[in-house]
Amino acid sequence: MLDAHMALGATARKGNIPILRDMFNKGTQCPVIRLKCALQAISSTVGGVIAIAIPISLNVAFRYTSWDDVFDEFRIVRAEFVYHPHSVYYPTGTSRTICTNIDYDDSSTPTSKDVAFALDTGKAWSTDEIIRPGLVLPDFVPDEQWYNCQTDQATAVAYVKFYSDGCSVSLAYGEAFGWMDVQFRQTG
């Protein structure tokens, strides 16, 4: 397996391993690992509303428990979710305008398009197109917050939010696929 990996060109090898540049902080190695996130359904309610807040937290990553047993602390360096519609160009009446934003403060779901669009990160889209709400970049300055791997897996550093109204009732419009770069370290 290693021979097959080494036979790849340098560019292919670099893109083939989901480990980013290590950092050394106060003599401790702090690897950054890209983890894929669980799929998030983007569906309307019985009231015809899409109101979703996806937390950017360690526990939305696939197999995060494999990492939290190895390291003591973590922090999320960056993340991104991309919405893919189930069908492009839905029949007339089901495609709607949807607003997205990245909120670094509040976990509540948006209550209107105005609320969703009002933040600096607010964007408007159509529900039948691929949507990239933006890159989530938590600001660690000045305290560079680290979280305990055993107790803080559900601590969210941001939320990716979606809102649309006037949608078809109880319809699955698409799914959001995501990843996050997580930095880990040992403390003792």
CATH of the domain at 34: 2.60.120.20
Residue 6, domain member (yes or no): no
In SS3 terms, 68-116 reads as HCCCCEEEEEEEEEEEEECCCCCCCCCCCEEEEEEECCCCCCCCCHHHH
Residue 11, domain member (yes or no): no
The tokens for 162 are 């979606």
Spans of the chain below 50 pLDDT: 1-8, 13, 16-17
Domain count, the chain: 1
Residue 24, domain member (yes or no): yes
Residue 13, domain member (yes or no): no
Residue 81, domain member (yes or no): yes
Q: Nearest-CA neighbor of 45 among 130, 166, 176, 161?
A: 166
Question: Which amino acid would we find at residue 162?
Answer: F
Residue 67, domain member (yes or no): yes
Q: Which residues contact 15 (CB under 8 A, 6 or more apart)?
A: none
> How is 2-46 classified by DSSP, letter by letter?
HHHHHHS-HHHHHHHS-EEEEEEETTEEEEEEEEEB--EEEE--T
Burial class (CB in 10 A: 0-12, 13-18, 19+), 93: exposed
Residue 39's domain comprises 20-185
Query: For the chain, what's the residue count?
Result: 188
Q: How open is the CA angle 171-113-89, to the nearest 5 degrees? A: 40
Chain-centre distance for alpha carbon 142: 23
Query: What is the predicted pLDDT for the residue at 17?
Result: 46
Contact indicator for 113, 165 with CB cutoff of 8 Å? yes
Model pTM score = 0.82
Residue 2, domain member (yes or no): no
Residue 12, domain member (yes or no): no
